[in-house]
Amino acid sequence: MIRLENVTKLYPGSVKALDDVSFSIDKGEFVFIVGGSGSGKTTIIKAIMREIDITSGQLYVEGVDITRIRRSKVHKLRRNLGIVFQDFRLLNNRTVYQNVAFALKITETPRRTIRKTVPMLLSMVGLNKKANMKPSELSGGEQQRIALARALANNPPILIADEPTGNLDPQRSWEMMKLLQEINMKGTTVLVVTHDKEIVDAMKKRVIALRNGRVVKDMKRGDYVHEH
């Protein structure tokens, strides 16, 4: 599903964000990427989304080397990716329903399908009774769930969550991870970037640990790896 081969990313000033990184994630896997600030976690997500270009190496998403995709075709790549951003990126002037529907409209989904799909997604994340509210009227945990519903709108084969529990209390954090696990059990490949040691240790999923832009550990059923 996702394969990095000797990926290096240099930012201006010769800052090496990724240094010869190689790993692959198979269909249906649930993978945590962990590491301290500046370890390269966010750069990996941006590279997979083609938000940034890598300096060298190959990066495959569903068998396609995305480093060779023209900028004009990147939107097609992103249809295969559901992204839950750390800052949610919700449209605050639209309702919960409209936020989720927007993800379907930009892929030119028929209105009839949107009317059927959005309530189903909101029900799945427990927000069907808040469809007509604005994001600003909801808690951080609820806004996170809107972002998750929106990321799943086009039924992507890959879901990437950037610090999905970063703004949540412990109870809400576990609810979010339970949702991600349920989504994974239905066949979606899930990649979670996190600092949450307790959740990583408890879930016993695959853990890829980064330090200074390099993979320092890759464990099939691992624990959180500290930066030091």
pLDDT in tens, 2-47: 999 999 999 998 789 999 999 999 999 999 999 988 899 999 999 9
- Dist CA 206 CA 200 (whole Å): 9
| Residue recorded with tokens 């201006």 | 12
Q: How many CB atoms lie within 10 A of CB 132?
A: 10
Ordered domains of the chain (ranges, CATH): 1-80+156-228 (3.40.50.300), 90-155 (no CATH)
User: Residue 226's pLDDT is what?
Assistant: 67
pLDDT in tens, 123-167: 999 999 999 999 999 988 899 899 999 999 999 999 999 998 887
- Alpha-carbon span 158 to 28, nearest angstrom: 9
